[in-house]
Structure 1
Amino acid sequence: MESLFGDTYEPQDEKSRLFADVILPVPIPKMFTYKIPRSLSEDIGIGYRVMVQFGQKKVLTGIIGKVHQKPPKEYEAKPILDVLDTYAMVNPLQIKFWAWMAEYYCCHIGEVMNAALPSGLKLSSESKIQLNPAYDSETSMYPLDDREEVILQALASREELSYEDCEQLLGIKTIHGIIKSLVIKEAIIVFEKVKDKYTPKVETRIRLRKEYAEDKKALESLFQVLDSKPKQEEVLLKYLQEIPVYQNPELNTKGLDKKAFSEAGLSMSSIKTLIKNNVLEEYKLIISRFEEIEESDEKIILSDEQMLAMQEIKEAFEDKQVTLLHGITGSGKTEIYIQLIKEALESGSQILLLLPEIALTTHIVGRLRKVFGSKMGVYHSKYSDNERVEVWNGVISGKFSFVVGVRSSIFLPFDSLGLVIVDEEHEASFKQYDPAPRFQARDAAIMLAWLHQAKTILGSATPSFESYYNARTKKYGYVQLDRRYGEAQLPEYFLSDILVDKKKNLLKLDFTRLMREKIQEALNKQEQVLIFQNRRGYAPYISCEDCGWIPECEHCDVSLTYHQFGEEMRCHYCGFKEKVPKICPACGSGKLAAVGLGTERIEENISLLFPEARVARMDLDTTRSKYGYQRLLEEFGAGNIDILVGTQMITKGLDFEKVTVVGILDADRILYFPDFRAGERAFQQITQVAGRAGRREKRGTVVIQSRKPDHYIFEKVIQGDYKNFYVQDMTERQKFFYPPFVKLVKISTRQKDYKTAEKAARHLHNLLNDIQVKKIMLGPEKGLIGKIKNQYIFESLVKLDKSGNAQAVFKHDLQLILEEMYANKEFRSVRVVVDVDPY
């Protein structure tokens, strides 16, 4: 029997034939069953990557989820094409975790797998073209145009071309129309060429042959021979200088990186000659992309409060799986983590430290590297595919028993987790919004720890209301740290009324007089300042002063954000951008003005107000590069920046000795937002950014600019009164049925046609209403942003009872309803997005 790919498979006895259920990276609700060829049966098992044919031509990387002897009833099983590994890349616990995530977050296990595996572990199927052997230009009835001729001429001398090759040949952006035409004319064949994405880092090394390395007389004779060949002699001397073979013969085994010779300006042709003459030998070595770092023997000295907190955590772990460490900013939570990580490592367990932002990892990694050296791995999205695969393999091999990472690190192949730490557990950035699975990394990490029978610490100065509620109801353990580490004091707060300063004409370039004075005081003392504004760009939008025209995105229902750098307007939802017009396209007026405040504009204003200060900006635009965060933080830490302007990236985890003033420019923007968590988020963000000030001996200063400085939240923040703020807000949540008293599920319909999207939303809403569980249904309503990427959005919000089996029943029936929806021709083109715990 021959497959589409030319492989021949031997027939097997039906009873002895093995089948594998394969998880595929596609949004389908089940695993697909494939035959295991007899030739592969010894090399296959759960967690191995396999190459399979899906559909007519597609080749996908799948993961074996189950091996059995039952053939599928609905279809004839295709054979597995190949096994890609010599050992399992995924373990059974991971597959169990993926299955839980798919069920809980109402998505498919293939979507979870797609998110879990680094791109470098997924094979890609790349379209290629080749000449059709049956094609004859002289007898063909189809004439070719000039561009088609160019492609055929290229194929005459090359076996195959990729689509990208064709685009470069013709100098055009899209080639599909021409390819389609050549296929119709039977001139070419399109096929899929599979390529493995991961490539190990290989270093070319040079070493001295054994006969010279181990025999001093032979080497002396060699130097006499090379006396008349100075360039070759130089190469040999360079090698012996770097690798003293007689003092330490073992060094010769590893040899020297070939680059060392070229960097020293030595002759490459001389090296070739020495290799040819059997003096030197060249070999390839697979090396790690991460430099080896020695762990230090520096001891962490805990204060009495930290020692007590650590003891309380251990006591809580005796009968609780999860413990909330509620420690105010600067109380020294990191030192407690380090001590607990050390103890867990000594017991032979693996540890995961989860952080919400890459910006935070760059800062804390430096501290942890000094303690744990190369046994610590780091995993985040700024790493290349190859680097992520190396960390993945490092966890499997045991090289990395401790990993610091952002939300995607919960998918790493841990097999013996003993401790999971979720720092800044309240952070909204732990939530994945798109694509599926739309998971909450903190909650998923707790489940991951439970599967491993590990313990979890949730750390925060401003815990999420859900975690604090679970601690108060004794579901979690609770440990509090209410004093800053060492001599550091909590900052002093000042409220500055924007409207009062505006009336008195004291507002300059969006800064109140009090804010300007405090910044100037810090600069005079050669101290540093952080300015927080939760909006990137130069200004939220530009507007015509005569007719009020505001530029909007062509594809989304949002105004375009003005970015002065590059003189363009951008949509932060779909990436659309265009140049700023010189005149208003609506009325022809030249009076176009920037409205509102973005970090870019604040940076410019500060430079005007304090021309002597060195100012930098930290937002998504300035930290796109791999080491963008790191470079900025290193510059700031070295004292080369006086004022750092930033978005919420600067609110967490940063610990700089010289920062004494923190300015919050527009606290109202955080507070007045259409979200039931607005108050909670405002309390958290203001407290967190304020916590960056005065973390050593000098007391810090926090200036909050607001149009309503008498709002009760500011009073609670200044008093550090989290408990009473929580009690007040939770009363409202209980009254109006919001988490943690109910479970929220948001269901959106998305379609390019407004009426179809709305009709589908109403139809779906009615079907959901019929599910027989205790619930409250809201909607369907047009989304807060009604159109994104040319798709209209309608949303229904379901508030589910948390007791009994309401969630399980609802999710099960929802799956059946969605299958019914997709079977309906009218709604087949409608995209339905289910988001569990959406806020």
Structure 2
Amino acid sequence: MESLFGDAYAPQDSKSNLYADIIMPVPIPKMFTYKIPRNFADEIGIGYRVIVQFGLKKVLTGIIAKVHQKAPKEYEAKPILDVLDTFATVNPLQIKFWVWMAEYYCCHIGEVMNAALPSGLKLSSQSKIQLNPSYDSDQSPYPLDAREEIILQALASKKELSYEECEDLLGIKSIQGIIKSLIIKEAILVFEKVMEKYSPKVESRIRLCPPYFSDIKALESLFKELANKPKQEEILLKYLQEIPIYQKPELNIKGLDKKVFTDAGMTGSSIKTLIKNGVLEEYKIIISRFEEMNATEEKIILSTEQDEALQQIKTQFEEKNTLLLHGITGSGKTEIYIQLINEALDSGSQVLLLLPEIALTTHMVSRLRKVFGSKMGVYHSKYSDNERVEVWNGVLSGKFSFVIGVRSSIFLPFDSLGLVIVDEEHESSYKQYDPAPRFQARDAVLMLAWLHQAKTILGSATPSFESYYNSRTKKYGYVFLDKRYGGASLPQYQLSDILVDKKKNLLKLDFTRLMREKIQETLNKQEQVLIFQNRRGYAPYIACDDCGWIPECEHCDVSLTYHQFGEEMRCHYCGFKEKVPRVCPACGSGKLGAVGLGTERIEESLSLLFPEARVARMDLDTTRSKYGYQRLLEEFGAGNIDILVGTQMITKGLDFEKVTLVGILDADRILFFPDFRAGERAFQQITQVAGRAGRREKQGTVIIQTRKPDQAIFGQVISGDYKNFYLQEMAERQRFFYPPFVKIIKISTRHKDYKTAEKAARHLHNLMGDIQVKKILLGPEKGLVGKIKNQYIYESFAKLDKSGNAQAHFKHELQGLLMEMQAHKDFRGTRFVVDVDPY
């Protein structure tokens, strides 16, 4: 206990004077101190979940961050109501990580806690009612109506009722008025019933009772008794068929899953009768939600190039804690990862492998499961709450020493990380935009690794400029893999000019002649095609050919996206949707048409151009279900899909032998985007998706459709000239003060009234100008999307000097300014959102 409470702590002397600083899941910039009741003093510690009263009515789950003997001066500490854990759910290193994240990303530690804990570990509270012990119906001056009488009669036989139970009892939709009336009449009390969300998976099992599993004569007598009861006899025979108790009597202890009988059509009533008569025993066990799997794949054999890269990594790790593994697409980075993961696990350390998308986890999990078996856990947002809690508990217990997951897996309760790998480290999906904390997992994981004194590998074929800059300035180690694994050739690129084909009337359904010819050639050879478009939906928008009317969202300052499935238009910001009108609401014209290219429209066009081909698409809409990605990839891998149309998710990590053609439909849309990273992201996306072609002995082909084939970036992508492209872009960034030469912080001001939003943004901007650090302030300007969910948005940007403590000082002062602004009477109801490293 000394490590928890300090050397001076003496439990027998000071149990009545213990306090705990508790992290609460609320957006308030501090922890709250509660008194530890004497009876909890020996069963509480850092990282334990506790139930506390917050305010007058709320009951919340908090996490203990510190235990001490100092009472708060500002308020009287309330007592902790209950302790939920018998061991810590969160460890001290996690709490340090949360504190750092709250400070660095300008948010509250409660918001970090909310993001970190799976919702299955956060309690829910439900309002319930009970009889007031002092209520006497004979003495009460208040008469009761018939519905109130029913409620009180129910409470006389049942100690408590939920609001929902009361509504069901009376057959009404809202019980609030009746509850209020009974409170006024002092007949009932309202309280919060706190419930644990996580529920383990339970399996009902059946086994033979003694003496039948040990005495053959008793079993023979039993069969004679059941001679006229065929259903019960069938159940007993089924059990003995599955559990050969006379050859292996120990199997009876484990018994048989009850589903074995019910799935075979045997009646539950017959099973109940056998249990009642003492023949069978039913019991329950807690089982894992994840299938147990042994490692099956043989040892990985590295190529000469891979082995050299592995040795370089080990050598550089002697001096550097972080290393950039720059390997061209198909160079075999995964095999190197596997070797390093094995070595880390053999040393007793834990390993985290971060991937940017669930699509990648689907493909990588099956590969890595063969190598690591059940010691590997998987953690991503498509898992249910209960599944995520099981992975969390699996890391706590040591069951999972290796975890593969998306950005949220950095919050898992690791206590001895030895190696962290961030694959496709350049990917923008590592950035969380909403809600807070708005963190960049690639950057945050470096702090996590530092806390654990672990090594970090950042892997990519097209590294982010920040990581490449850090490697060139010797902050990171650097290893380059420039050959494809197994001797596979890099793909051949061809540019196809959209405007030239349009002038010659050769453009059909948005596909140039070259693209159509290459797709047909590929299909004729019974090979597969990937078509990439950086957009989901049927088309960007609907427009009227006569008056130019474009449907817009009622709540956001954006046009609605047309989705052919369901014939509806949707807002991808707030979810608003409506049916496509038959005529233009503005002028009455019937000439409404889709403008632009979406994945649905491309899928339809391909089906018309190549009617014999099996076409499918992979985007957010087709992969919403838990196993949506997996099913599509399995179908594609099995050769049941000829052409797969996709958004960014098809650019990453997919490795299919029969894919020999990749088509990029509108490369200009990626390149000409209002973002200083547009060129970098265009290079990355084109290179990544091109890397899916020809990953075996056959050389792949990449067709890029563009209106400007003379753009320098296309030549650099085709030649693989990453270094010169980097140097060219970095010269621009240094000249105009962009990362990695400065730190950017975006401050968004939001309000339902645009004048208030603008006024608040300008006032805050002026106040930020007085912060005494080296900086450049831009704005405030109306946001790129000026309204979302009926909130008008104005944005300011601060470019901060990266040297010294300019960032920390600016953030600290900014937090004070925001508190001052929110207390200002003119700006009540205004929301301020701070986003550190917004791009």
TM-score normalised by the shorter chain: which range applies?
Answer: over 0.9
**Distance in structure 1 (CA, Å) of the matches to 2:390 and 2:705:** 47
**1:97 maps to 2:97:** yes
**1:117 maps to 2:117:** yes
Instruction: Give secondary structure in 2 for the equivalent of 1:213.
Output: coil
Q: Deviations over 1:408-436 (max 9, x none)?
A: 00000000000000000000000000111
**Distance in structure 1 (CA, Å) of the matches to 2:303 and 2:534:** 35
Question: Does the 8 Å contact 2:378/2:403 carry over to 1?
Answer: yes
- Note closer, same or farther for the CA distance 1:528–1:159 as it changes in structure 2 (3 Å cut): farther
- Note closer, same or farther for the CA distance 1:218–1:429 as it changes in structure 2 (3 Å cut): same
Question: Does the 8 Å contact 1:545/1:592 carry over to 2?
Answer: yes
Question: Does the 8 Å contact 1:557/1:787 carry over to 2?
Answer: yes
- Note closer, same or farther for the CA distance 1:360–1:166 as it changes in structure 2 (3 Å cut): farther
Partner of 1:497: 497
Question: Does the 8 Å contact 2:15/2:41 carry over to 1?
Answer: no
Q: Deviations over 1:113-156 (max 9, x none)?
A: 11000000000122345677869899998998x99999999989
Question: Does the 8 Å contact 2:232/2:271 carry over to 1?
Answer: yes
Amino acid at match of 2:574: C
Instruction: Give secondary structure in 2 for the equivalent of 1:797.
Output: strand
Partner of 1:829: 829
Question: Does the 8 Å contact 1:15/1:69 carry over to 2?
Answer: no
**Distance in structure 2 (CA, Å) of the matches to 1:562 and 1:187:** 56
Residue 585 of structure 1 deviates from its aligned partner by 1.1
Partner of 2:412: 412
Question: Does the 8 Å contact 1:135/1:186 carry over to 2?
Answer: no
Partner of 1:20: 20
- Note closer, same or farther for the CA distance 1:506–1:206 as it changes in structure 2 (3 Å cut): same
Aligned ranges 1:69-148 → 2 under 5 Å: 69-128=69-128
Partner of 2:789: 789
Q: Deviations over 1:463-509 (max 9, x none)?
A: 00000000000000000001100031111111111111111100101
Partner of 2:384: 384
Instruction: Give secondary structure in 2 for the equivalent of 1:207.
Output: strand
Amino acid at match of 2:275: I
- Note closer, same or farther for the CA distance 1:679–1:282 as it changes in structure 2 (3 Å cut): same
- The TM-score normalised by the length of structure 2 is 0.95
**1:368 maps to 2:368:** yes
Aligned ranges 1:502-541 → 2 under 5 Å: 502-541=502-541
Partner of 2:58: 58
Aligned ranges 1:514-593 → 2 under 5 Å: 514-593=514-593
**1:757 maps to 2:757:** yes
Residue 808 of structure 1 deviates from its aligned partner by 1.2
Aligned ranges 1:277-296 → 2 under 5 Å: 277-296=277-296
- Note closer, same or farther for the CA distance 1:55–1:304 as it changes in structure 2 (3 Å cut): same
Q: Deviations over 1:696-750 (max 9, x none)?
A: 1111111111111111111111001100000000000000000000011001111
**Distance in structure 1 (CA, Å) of the matches to 2:584 and 2:154:** 49
Aligned ranges 1:313-332 → 2 under 5 Å: 313-332=313-332
Question: Does the 8 Å contact 1:501/1:507 carry over to 2?
Answer: yes
Question: Does the 8 Å contact 1:16/1:69 carry over to 2?
Answer: no
Question: Does the 8 Å contact 1:51/1:83 carry over to 2?
Answer: yes
Number of residue pairs aligned between Structure 1 and Structure 2: 827
Partner of 1:229: 229
**Distance in structure 2 (CA, Å) of the matches to 1:152 and 1:278:** 42
Partner of 1:449: 449
Aligned ranges 1:672-687 → 2 under 5 Å: 672-687=672-687
Residue 167 of structure 1 deviates from its aligned partner by 7.4
- The TM-score normalised by the length of structure 1 is 0.95
**Distance in structure 1 (CA, Å) of the matches to 2:151 and 2:576:** 33
Amino acid at match of 1:720: G
- Note closer, same or farther for the CA distance 1:478–1:232 as it changes in structure 2 (3 Å cut): same
**Distance in structure 2 (CA, Å) of the matches to 1:708 and 1:169:** 70
Deviates most, 399-408 or 816-825? 816-825
Partner of 2:341: 341
Partner of 1:635: 635
Instruction: Give secondary structure in 2 for the equivalent of 1:759.
Output: helix
Amino acid at match of 2:239: Y
Residue 362 of structure 1 deviates from its aligned partner by 0.5
Residue 222 of structure 1 deviates from its aligned partner by 2.8
Instruction: Give secondary structure in 1 for the equivalent of 2:211.
Output: helix
- Note closer, same or farther for the CA distance 1:208–1:324 as it changes in structure 2 (3 Å cut): same
Residue 461 of structure 1 deviates from its aligned partner by 0.2
Q: Deviations over 1:302-332 (max 9, x none)?
A: 1000000111110110000101000000000
Partner of 1:307: 307
Amino acid at match of 1:640: N
Question: Does the 8 Å contact 1:101/1:112 carry over to 2?
Answer: yes
Aligned ranges 1:21-36 → 2 under 5 Å: 21-36=21-36
Amino acid at match of 1:546: D
**Distance in structure 1 (CA, Å) of the matches to 2:640 and 2:297:** 30
Residue 589 of structure 1 deviates from its aligned partner by 1.4
- Note closer, same or farther for the CA distance 1:581–1:723 as it changes in structure 2 (3 Å cut): same
Q: Deviations over 1:1-48 (max 9, x none)?
A: xxxxxxxxxxx9988411000000111111100010111111100000
Amino acid at match of 1:414: F
Q: Deviations over 1:146-173 (max 9, x none)?
A: 9999999998997666555677789998
- Note closer, same or farther for the CA distance 1:179–1:794 as it changes in structure 2 (3 Å cut): farther
Question: Does the 8 Å contact 2:16/2:38 carry over to 1?
Answer: no
- Note closer, same or farther for the CA distance 1:219–1:88 as it changes in structure 2 (3 Å cut): same
**Distance in structure 2 (CA, Å) of the matches to 1:459 and 1:33:** 43
- Note closer, same or farther for the CA distance 1:261–1:710 as it changes in structure 2 (3 Å cut): same
Partner of 2:242: 242
- Note closer, same or farther for the CA distance 1:549–1:156 as it changes in structure 2 (3 Å cut): farther
Question: Does the 8 Å contact 1:344/1:350 carry over to 2?
Answer: yes
Deviates most, 228-237 or 238-247? 228-237
Partner of 1:427: 427
Partner of 2:664: 664
Amino acid at match of 2:366: G
**Distance in structure 2 (CA, Å) of the matches to 1:171 and 1:487:** 72
- Note closer, same or farther for the CA distance 1:570–1:59 as it changes in structure 2 (3 Å cut): same
**Distance in structure 1 (CA, Å) of the matches to 2:155 and 2:585:** 49
- Note closer, same or farther for the CA distance 1:143–1:150 as it changes in structure 2 (3 Å cut): closer
**Distance in structure 1 (CA, Å) of the matches to 2:681 and 2:154:** 60
**Distance in structure 1 (CA, Å) of the matches to 2:172 and 2:596:** 40
Residue 219 of structure 1 deviates from its aligned partner by 2.6
- Note closer, same or farther for the CA distance 1:143–1:172 as it changes in structure 2 (3 Å cut): closer
Partner of 1:624: 624
**Distance in structure 1 (CA, Å) of the matches to 2:171 and 2:612:** 49
- Note closer, same or farther for the CA distance 1:698–1:38 as it changes in structure 2 (3 Å cut): same
Amino acid at match of 1:295: A
Deviates most, 554-563 or 274-283? 274-283
Q: Deviations over 1:62-107 (max 9, x none)?
A: 0000000000000000000000000000000000000110111011
Aligned ranges 1:352-367 → 2 under 5 Å: 352-367=352-367
- Note closer, same or farther for the CA distance 1:34–1:729 as it changes in structure 2 (3 Å cut): same
**Distance in structure 2 (CA, Å) of the matches to 1:164 and 1:497:** 64
Aligned ranges 1:674-713 → 2 under 5 Å: 674-713=674-713
